[in-house]
């Protein structure tokens, strides 16, 4: 850990506490916390994974097949469902935080921004999720009801990136990211997202007028079941967005090509 003048960083303590609670095949395992002779000499012993998905995607000579994509995303969804059942939200889900073992087991990692939540829901730091999802502009800021839904949209971004072999929404800033989202999904309104106009900071942004959803144009080869899954993951209204459990039951994962077995996932190490 980096040297801290006032002791162990609270983010590190939070990550250690959460990881010690978690035991699931698709969540990275914290095996031990090792303390050296000095306070800054603290080491986390994690279960070994050969590579993260971002590096793997960048270096693979050929992209994952659709069957392999299904295998990966199903594992991500199982891990996400486990987290939400244990009242934990990751808040930084992206391909670089997904690790893979040599046996094709995908594990969600990097819980530095993760939080445990319950009732009543406490406020959380807003600007902490990846730019793959709208994190500002009144679209998701400070809304307790949106937190797990934001992570489900992140799953949609991961699925889309694996299918398209490139990031779906490669925004360089929050404003640029919101504009890309509107281009892809259409302009949000009260009709499709009740309460949208009352969200914080919405009035400060002028969104482009885009009446159409372009997911089918973006993925013309994807089956109806696959497009339907993406639609449910990317719905503006978080109350209508598919849960991890809903996604696991999606007909997309039951149609051909069927998901590859983890042991047959190709690893280019």
Instruction: Please report whether residue 45 resides in a domain.
Output: no
Strand 51-52 versus strand 98-100 pairing type? antiparallel
- For residue 103, the Cα-to-chain-centroid distance in whole angstroms is 22
> First CA to last CA across the chain, in angstroms?
27
In-domain check, residue 33: no
Q: What is the reported pLDDT for 29?
A: 96
Cα separation, 217 vs 220, whole angstroms: 5
Looking at 78-219, which runs of residues are DSSP E strands?
88-89, 98-100, 106-108, 115-116
Backbone angles phi, psi at 64, to 5 degrees: -60, 145
Helices (H), 100-213: 147-164, 174-185
Single out the residue of 123, 103, 127 nearest to residue 113, CA to CA: 127
CB neighbours of 27 closer than 8 A, spacing ≥ 6? 79, 82, 83, 107, 108
Report the CATH number that the domain containing residue 237 is assigned in CATH.
1.10.510.10
**Helix, coil or strand: residue 33:** strand
In-domain check, residue 212: yes
3 belongs to a structural domain: no
Burial class (CB in 10 A: 0-12, 13-18, 19+), 118: exposed
CA distances from 267 to 34, 46, 61, 68, 113 (A): 30, 20, 11, 11, 28
Q: What tens-digit pLDDT sequence spans the chain (269 residues)?
A: 555 556 678 888 889 999 999 999 999 999 999 988 876 778 899 999 999 999 999 988 888 999 999 999 999 999 999 999 999 999 899 999 999 999 999 999 999 899 888 644 455 554 444 445 544 333 444 333 445 566 778 999 999 999 999 999 998 888 898 899 999 999 999 999 998 888 877 777 788 898 889 999 999 999 999 999 999 999 999 888 889 999 999 999 999 999 999 988 855 54
Q: Let me know if residue 181 belongs to a domain.
A: yes
> Is the Cβ–Cβ distance between 101 and 107 less than 8 Å?
yes
Q: Is residue 155 part of a domain?
A: yes
The parent domain of residue 231 ranges over 50-264
Three-state SS at 31: strand
Residue 30 lies in a domain: no
Cβ atoms 257, 226 nearer than 8 A: no
* Residue 69 in tokens: 């994509």
- Which residues carry out catalysis? 92
| Peptide linkage before 257 cis (omega within 30 of 0) | yes
- Residue 204: predicted pLDDT: 76
The C-alpha atoms of residue 165 and residue 129 are separated, in whole angstroms, by: 22
Provide the pLDDT for residue 98.
98
**Token pair of 165, please?**
């072999």
Residue at 99 is within a domain: yes
Question: What pLDDT is stored for residue 206 in this prediction?
Answer: 82
Regarding pTM above 0.75, the answer is: yes
Alpha-carbon distance 237 to 2, whole Å? Answer: 40
User: How many structural domains compose the chain?
Assistant: 1
């Amino acid at each position: 850990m980096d040297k801290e003048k006032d002791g162990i960083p609270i983010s590190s303590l939070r990550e250690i506490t959460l990881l010690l609670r978690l035991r699931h095949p698709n969540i990275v395992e914290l095996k031990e916390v090792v303390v050296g002779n000095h306070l800054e000499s603290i080491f986390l012993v994690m279960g070994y994974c050969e590579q993260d998905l971002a590096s793997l995607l960048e270096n693979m000579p050929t992209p994952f097949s659709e069957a392999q994509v299904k295998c990966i995303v199903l594992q991500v969804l199982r891990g996400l469902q486990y987290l939400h059942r244990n009242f934990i939200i990751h808040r930084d889900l992206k391909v670089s935080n997904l690790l893979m073992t040599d046996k094709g087991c995908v594990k969600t990692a990097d819980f530095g921004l993760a939080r445990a939540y319950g009732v009543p829901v406490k406020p959380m730091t807003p600007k902490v999720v990846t730019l793959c999802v709208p994190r500002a502009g009144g679209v998701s800021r400070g809304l307790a009801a949106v937190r797990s839904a934001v992570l489900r949209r992140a799953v949609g971004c991961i699925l889309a990136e694996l299918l398209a072999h490139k990031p779906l929404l490669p925004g360089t800033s929050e404003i640029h990211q919101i504009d890309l989202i509107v281009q892809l999904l259409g302009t949000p309104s009260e009709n499709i997202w009740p309460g949208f106009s009352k969200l914080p900071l919405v009035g400060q942004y002028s969104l482009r007028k885009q009446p159409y959803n372009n997911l089918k144009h973006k993925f013309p080869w994807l089956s109806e079941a696959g497009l339907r899954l993406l639609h449910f993951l990317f719905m503006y209204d978080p109350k209508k967005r598919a849960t991890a459990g809903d996604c696991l039951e999606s007909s997309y994962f039951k149609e051909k090509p069927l998901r590859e077995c983890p042991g047959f996932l190709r690893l280019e190490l």
